[in-house]
């Protein structure tokens, strides 16, 4: 099996190296990843500046673009023909509406867009200290996740509960829930007296939604969410058409 790996935390990120070690036990691994942290870039594509690729180590290329740029170059310039795209392991959750902001998830969505089965994997804690402990757990779980990814056309978003909360209780198919950032804006002045702002806040709320990825991880289960890239609200289409047609 040929794996193409990327992430949004940069080519040095421990999670990417753990994922590469796990995948290398099942096949051939090529990594094309951003040269620095690109978390939160979503599905951005670089159209108005040139991109560079640099060899980081054999089989690993660093790109000065986004995760989407990495997958695009890997498929359409390097002409890699991976069986699977893996994106991650992100240090921090990609639950609920994180999916819309996430560069990790976008890496997988870009793979799926070009018809390659794709998985995004996130560890739901911002600490990277115990990332290496995920390796034996993913050794066990990856074959099943690959079967899920290869069984359908979209990307598959996987969230691992924080390992420091104890053993995982199992694995669950889950829908996207809601994960709401505090509507907090920190405003301060820089050393030259000019205002700057820090958005997002630390306080994140996850409303209780039965069957959601947020609930699964809260309850200690690995969540597995099939994602589509069609954001149309199909059940509203007819109503909108009726409104447009009315005088
Ligand atoms: Mn990230």
Note the pLDDT of residue 184: 86
CB atoms within 10 A of CB 103: 27
Digit-coded pLDDT (tens) for 99-147: 999 999 999 999 999 999 999 999 999 889 999 999 999 999 999 999 9
Digit-coded pLDDT (tens) for 172-207: 999 999 988 878 899 999 999 999 999 887 778 899
User: Is the domain defined by 2-178+209-245 classed in CATH 3.40.1210.10?
Assistant: yes
State pTM to two decimals: 0.95
How many angstroms is it from 238 CA to the middle of ligand 1? 38
| Domain ranges across the chain | 2-178+209-245
How many angstroms is it from 234 CA to the middle of ligand 1? 31
Least Cα distance to 85 among 30, 9, 151, 8 occurs for: 30
How many angstroms is it from 105 CA to the middle of ligand 1? 9
How many angstroms is it from 192 CA to the middle of ligand 1? 30
Confidence of residue 50 (pLDDT cuts 50, 70, 90): very high
Confidence of residue 218 (pLDDT cuts 50, 70, 90): very high
């Amino acid at each position: 099996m040929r794996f193409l790996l990327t992430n949004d935390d940069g080519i040095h990120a421990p999670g990417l190296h753990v994922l590469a070690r796990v995948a290398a036990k099942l096949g051939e691994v090529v990594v094309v990843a951003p040269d620095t942290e690109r978390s939160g870039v979503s599905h951005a594509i670089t159209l108005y500046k040139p991109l560079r690729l640099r060899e980081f180590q054999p089989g690993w290329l660093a790109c000065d673009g986004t995760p989407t740029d990495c997958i695009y170059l890997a498929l359409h310039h390097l002409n890699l023909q991976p069986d699977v795209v893996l994106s991650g392991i992100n240090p921090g959750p990609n639950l609920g509406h994180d999916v819309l902001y996430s560069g990790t998830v976008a890496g997988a969505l870009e793979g799926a867009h070009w018809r390659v089965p794709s998985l995004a994997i996130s560890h739901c804690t911002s600490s990277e200290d115990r990332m290496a402990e995920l390796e034996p757990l993913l050794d066990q779980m990856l074959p099943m996740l690959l079967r899920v990814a290869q069984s359908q056309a979209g990307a598959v978003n996987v969230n691992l509960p924080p390992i420091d909360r104890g053993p995982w209780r199992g694995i669950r198919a889950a829908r996207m829930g809601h994960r709401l950032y505090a509507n907090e804006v920190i405003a301060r002045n820089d050393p030259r007296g000019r205002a700057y702002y820090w958005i997002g806040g630390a306080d994140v709320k996850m409303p209780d939604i039965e069957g959601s990825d947020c609930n699964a991880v809260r309850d200690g289960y690995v969540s597995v969410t099939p994602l589509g890239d069609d954001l149309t609200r199909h059940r509203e289409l007819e109503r909108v058409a009726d409104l447009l047609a009315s005088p």
